[in-house]
């Protein structure tokens, strides 16, 4: 078979491309025909270079971390050494301070033993006492039954040499002999029977016993005080809380006297006066705060009294709600010390010629405004002048 010849067509003439196109297409064309450098080698070189830089950067950061870790480790060691040294120094200081405290405690124990009679068999010594002309014999060891009392301290090794003696060498005490005999009876009974009851005090000697027990701090002989119930006023008494129900001064007293110290907390303010009196007011006396043998401090005013010889008590102190007023009777000097919010605001001394008539001082409280309340505490300790709230009022010199 024979094929017919194909017709020949004439190709169009080649047109010249622009120079720009030639330059752009030349690399691709060269690559296709095997001319120029291969493209894959360039990419591998770039990747290898970047990888090497990454490794160098990682190694640099690793070195920084290693250096930081070593620094932290060194700081930890140094801190541990400092803490250990501080611990050793603290333990050494604590041991030294403990030794000081133990030394002081031993010193205090020795002083306490020296200032008190502590042991029942105190060398078998018997005290020969002349009490206002009446003679008593008391084993010294019996005084340990009233530890903390001034009678105990009086015959301790620290103070026994200060007790005066009579011509026979007996210790001389200027006390009420009848009341002192009751105390001796109690101490002797306590030696035989540790739970012996307190002897009954005859009514005619009760006031003298109150004064002596207060002076010697013989708490076993001190009767618990309270507000009198038969007072003849409109004041309402609930326990040791006193409330005024009508206007005008009304006075109420304690059942017994004396009290070395007592305080009153003002629940509701108003006209208020407190102090001491040589007797328990009766009749019309309960409606006045001016009595011949009384000493009272009146809120917003000052001392109200006709029997004060000298005083330096602050004037015009306001007794606001919540404030605490207090009074301490110093039996040894027969003086009164006044307190406001546990701060001493002055003292006063009684006239010498009136002391015999004011041997027993009853705590008294006077209220003026209806609804006013005050709570009384007869068991309070003498306030300290180092604590309390600021005082408001006028301070004047002794008169």
pTM of the prediction?
A: 0.57
pLDDT grade for 130, boundaries at 50, 70 and 90: very high
Average pLDDT estimate for 202-210: 84
Instruction: Report the pLDDT value the prediction gives residue 104, as an integer from 0 to 100.
Output: 83
Instruction: Report the pLDDT value the prediction gives residue 250, as an integer from 0 to 100.
Output: 93
CA distance 110 to 118: 11
pLDDT grade for 295, boundaries at 50, 70 and 90: very high
pLDDT digits (tens, 9 = 90+) for 325-343: 999 888 778 889 999 998 9
φ and ψ at 79, to 5 degrees?
-65, -40
pLDDT grade for 114, boundaries at 50, 70 and 90: low
φ and ψ at 93, to 5 degrees?
-65, -40
Instruction: Report the pLDDT value the prediction gives residue 229, as an integer from 0 to 100.
Output: 84
CA distance 199 to 206: 12
Strands, E assignment, the chain: 126-131, 134-139, 171-173, 236-238, 241-243, 250-253, 261-268, 272-277, 294-298, 302-305, 308-311, 324-330, 335-340, 343-350, 362-367, 373-377
Instruction: Report the pLDDT value the prediction gives residue 231, as an integer from 0 to 100.
Output: 83
Percentage of the chain modeled with pLDDT above 70: 80
Burial category of 17 from C-beta neighbours within 10 Å (exposed 0-12, middle 13-18, buried 19 and up): exposed
Output the CA torsion sign for 378, 379, 382, 388.
negative
What is the chain's mean pLDDT, rounded?
Answer: 80
- For the chain, the distance separating the N- and C-terminal CA atoms, rounded to the nearest angstrom, is 166
Q: Is the pLDDT of residue 26 over 90?
A: no
Instruction: Report the pLDDT value the prediction gives residue 29, as an integer from 0 to 100.
Output: 46
Q: Is the pLDDT of residue 107 over 80?
A: no
pLDDT grade for 4, boundaries at 50, 70 and 90: low
């Amino acid at each position: 078979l024979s094929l017919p010849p194909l017709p020949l067509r004439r190709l169009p003439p080649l047109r010249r491309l622009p120079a720009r196109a030639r330059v752009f297409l030349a690399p691709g064309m060269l690559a296709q025909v095997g001319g120029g450098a291969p493209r894959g080698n360039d990419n591998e070189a770039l990747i290898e270079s970047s990888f090497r830089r990454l490794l160098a950067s990682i190694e640099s950061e690793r070195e920084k971390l290693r250096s930081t870790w070593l620094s932290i480790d060194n700081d930890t060691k140094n801190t541990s050494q400092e803490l250990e040294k501080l611990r050793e120094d603290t333990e050494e200081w604590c041991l030294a301070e403990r030794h000081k405290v133990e030394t002081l405690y031993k010193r205090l124990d020795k002083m306490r033993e020296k200032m008190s009679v502590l042991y029942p068999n105190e060398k078998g010594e018997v005290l020969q006492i002349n009490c206002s002309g009446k003679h008593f014999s008391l084993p010294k060891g019996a005084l340990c039954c009233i530890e903390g009392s001034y009678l105990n301290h009086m015959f301790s090794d620290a103070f026994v040499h200060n007790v005066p003696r009579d011509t026979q060498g007996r210790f001389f005490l200027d006390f009420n002999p009848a009341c002192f005999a009751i105390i001796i009876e109690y101490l002797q009974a306590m030696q035989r029977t540790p739970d012996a009851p307190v002897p009954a005090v005859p009514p005619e000697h009760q006031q003298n016993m109150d004064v002596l027990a207060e002076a010697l701090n013989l708490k076993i002989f001190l009767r618990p005080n309270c507000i009198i119930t038969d007072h003849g006023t409109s004041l309402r008494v609930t326990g040791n809380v006193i409330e005024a129900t009508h206007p005008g001064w009304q006075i109420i007293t304690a059942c017994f006297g004396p009290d070395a110290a007592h305080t009153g907390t003002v629940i509701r303010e108003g006209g208020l006066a407190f102090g001491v009196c040589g007797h328990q007011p009766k009749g019309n006396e309960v409606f006045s705060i001016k009595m011949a043998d009384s000493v009272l401090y009146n809120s917003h005013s000052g001392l109200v009294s006709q029997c004060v010889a000298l005083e330096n008590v602050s004037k015009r102190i306001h007794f606001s709600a919540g404030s605490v007023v207090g009074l301490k009777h110093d039996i040894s000097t027969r003086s009164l010390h006044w307190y406001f919010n546990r701060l001493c605001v002055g003292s006063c001394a009684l006239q010498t010629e009136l002391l015999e008539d004011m041997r027993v001082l009853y705590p008294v409280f006077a209220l003026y405004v209806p609804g006013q309340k005050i709570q009384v505490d007869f068991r309070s300790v003498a306030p300290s002048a180092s604590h309390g709230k600021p005082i408001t009022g006028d301070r004047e010199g002794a008169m």
